[in-house]
Structure 1
């Protein structure tokens, strides 16, 4: 029975992460560049913003504009944004019923003048030729291009994000084997391309103002209006550092919304991901019931599959793959904490702001 669970777990992992397209090696020149308005919501991002804006310096004069939407930052965010030539839009006080990021994106869109909107998180970094690579994959009106930035790890604790990335991708149904017939359910949050007319036709972030997981909610909104969401790995176009401030930042960042995201995702995709995670745990605890040779073989096969998949998600090393039980355990612990914060305490704190759920 345990051997069968191992086989099913390996097959299900392959089904969930069958093909993860990247944006590498396109480098196509495109006239669409001059139509792009980049919109960056920011709250106390003095550590991240110079890196992102520095990566965009080569595009000054080539794109329509760069807008930084300041959400009452108390650090040097505004000064730094202006020093890099970005246009700064300052938000009013957050209205009742809105979450901060959605309010920032909406106000940035209202001020933008380009025909194509590119929403970027402040902790992302555009690679060389990154915008060209993204635009060559963008099909135009009626479509949203949703990109999961390549995770550039520099500290060991950052590798603890490994299973969170995989669960997000699996729960959206972004890269499974039947993606031609069963569409993605939602969208990634850090990087999103959309035509101006489509954005306002779908209601923009105003339509999902009260959703903490604005990326998933906006993807649903697009599909409800007949639009299409296509997903890519950011390899070759855009990368990110996730929570470079330290382990506490990583813990708070993932826990603030992960349980909420699980409750909002497609029940079918969520069930597949849960079965896959359950299969991994069942295998790991079955060492007494399997012959040693089969257990070691299964362990190595799982590690190889994780290494292959994570290599497209970020620069995760062999250590992450071979020590996957520790990363899986960390995922379950943090998810449990997020569940308690979300459904019992019903509030989280992020960037100095208490968020009621």
Structure 2
């Protein structure tokens, strides 16, 4: 009977390929005869440490944006001064209205100040790899599809390795890279790097309809879908990168928690089911492993199936983690550590949401 658990895990492992089996990367730098006028809009709140790298990467390439707008969202550090030093236009939004969240309000303010034909919204903790920005103008083509890119996560400390499952599930939950191709018709968008024409932005009333949403990118995708505007999603390896948690474990914990339950609620049902099945495989393997360790009389069949399931899941993790970030191969081999951390944060977020506990991020309630 013990052998049933690893057999179930083996049967559930293919769920990963169904939700993430066809990753899509940018591969074209074809110049346009008439370069698109792209306004880069960067909402920034106390981003003096991150902003220089992004601005320098935008200014280093052969192709330059039409303009760079930094929306200084109530910063108490040198964010505005750093932006001006590098030639960006600095915009200070009006006081945050009661029915708006901070990021949508900053994005809306930046869009209203922009003069380009296309708007490229970028998080301040991202940056372009050398030559990476040259992939962006070809996306601004006549069919006016909205494009978003998930930045490749650069890892610089062991603590940051704990983001692996979160990054992976964020990408898989977009429903943009699954099998078959027809399953990707209603994909979400990545909020860290989003390119939309100014006309399409006005057509959906900008960020006004998502003004009170924590994960505004999911809701923007829904509004675009309702009016028939196509959405293209890409993974950013070799083009755009990010480092999310230089502030250590507390920063990582609070950041993932702030939008975790909202993200699960907004994920496409098919993607959510497949992700859940794959995570169930991982937890079943973990239980089987514990049984194998603490049950000396376990049969060779059970031990062999457990070892096979563990190996297959670890190989899946190794492949999938490398699609979304520069994670160590050891992270995949010791996947139970990251998986337990993921489950602990997930259930903590659910419990706090049920209790009505507020989640604070940069001095604001983002519950």
CA contact (8 A) 1:16 1:173 kept: yes
In structure 1, runs of 5+ residues without a counterpart are none
Distance in 2 separating the partners of 1:346 and 1:229:
35
In structure 2, runs of 5+ residues without a counterpart are 293-297
How far 1:180 moved relative to its partner?
3.3
In structure 2, the residue matched to 1:183 is: 185
In structure 2, do the counterparts of structure 1 residues 280 and 353 end up closer, same or farther at CA, with 3 Å as the change threshold?
Answer: same
Q: TM-score, normalised by structure 2?
A: 0.92
In structure 2, the residue matched to 1:229 is: 231
CA contact (8 A) 2:67 2:116 kept: yes
The counterpart of 2:339, out of the listed 319, 328, 331, is: 328
How far 1:34 moved relative to its partner?
4.7
The counterpart of 1:251, out of the listed 253, 262, 272, is: 253
CA contact (8 A) 2:6 2:288 kept: no
1:296-311 aligned within 5 A: 296-311=307-322
In structure 1, the residue matched to 2:295 is: none
In structure 2, do the counterparts of structure 1 residues 341 and 3 end up closer, same or farther at CA, with 3 Å as the change threshold?
Answer: closer
CA contact (8 A) 2:207 2:220 kept: yes
Note if 1:344 corresponds to 2:355.
Answer: yes
Distance in 2 separating the partners of 1:142 and 1:346:
41
Distance in 1 separating the partners of 2:150 and 2:204:
22
Secondary structure of 2:136 counterpart: helix
The counterpart of 1:50, out of the listed 29, 52, 62, is: 52
Distance in 1 separating the partners of 2:85 and 2:178:
43
1:209-224 aligned within 5 A: 209-224=211-226
In structure 2, the residue matched to 1:80 is: 82
Secondary structure of 1:47 counterpart: coil
In structure 2, do the counterparts of structure 1 residues 32 and 198 end up closer, same or farther at CA, with 3 Å as the change threshold?
Answer: farther
Note if 1:21 corresponds to 2:32.
Answer: no
How far 1:124 moved relative to its partner?
0.2
CA contact (8 A) 2:118 2:140 kept: no
How far 1:293 moved relative to its partner?
2.5
Distance in 2 separating the partners of 1:138 and 1:273:
32
Distance in 1 separating the partners of 2:339 and 2:140:
35
In structure 2, do the counterparts of structure 1 residues 34 and 187 end up closer, same or farther at CA, with 3 Å as the change threshold?
Answer: closer
* Residue-pair matches, total: 355
CA contact (8 A) 1:152 1:314 kept: yes
Distance in 2 separating the partners of 1:248 and 1:132:
36
Secondary structure of 1:280 counterpart: helix
Distance in 2 separating the partners of 1:334 and 1:256:
11
Distance in 1 separating the partners of 2:328 and 2:361:
29
How far 1:181 moved relative to its partner?
4.4
Distance in 2 separating the partners of 1:94 and 1:178:
43
Distance in 1 separating the partners of 2:196 and 2:143:
8
Distance in 2 separating the partners of 1:33 and 1:317:
39
What CA RMSD, in Å, does the superposition of the two structures yield over aligned residues?
Answer: 1.8
In structure 2, the residue matched to 1:96 is: 98
- The structure with more radius of gyration: 2
Distance in 2 separating the partners of 1:343 and 1:224:
31
CA contact (8 A) 1:33 1:63 kept: no
Distance in 2 separating the partners of 1:15 and 1:181:
9
How far 1:193 moved relative to its partner?
0.7
> Which segment drifts farther, 28-37 or 279-288?
28-37
Secondary structure of 1:256 counterpart: helix
1:108-187 aligned within 5 A: 108-187=110-189
In structure 2, the residue matched to 1:206 is: 208
Distance in 1 separating the partners of 2:73 and 2:62:
24
Distance in 2 separating the partners of 1:329 and 1:200:
43
Secondary structure of 2:52 counterpart: helix
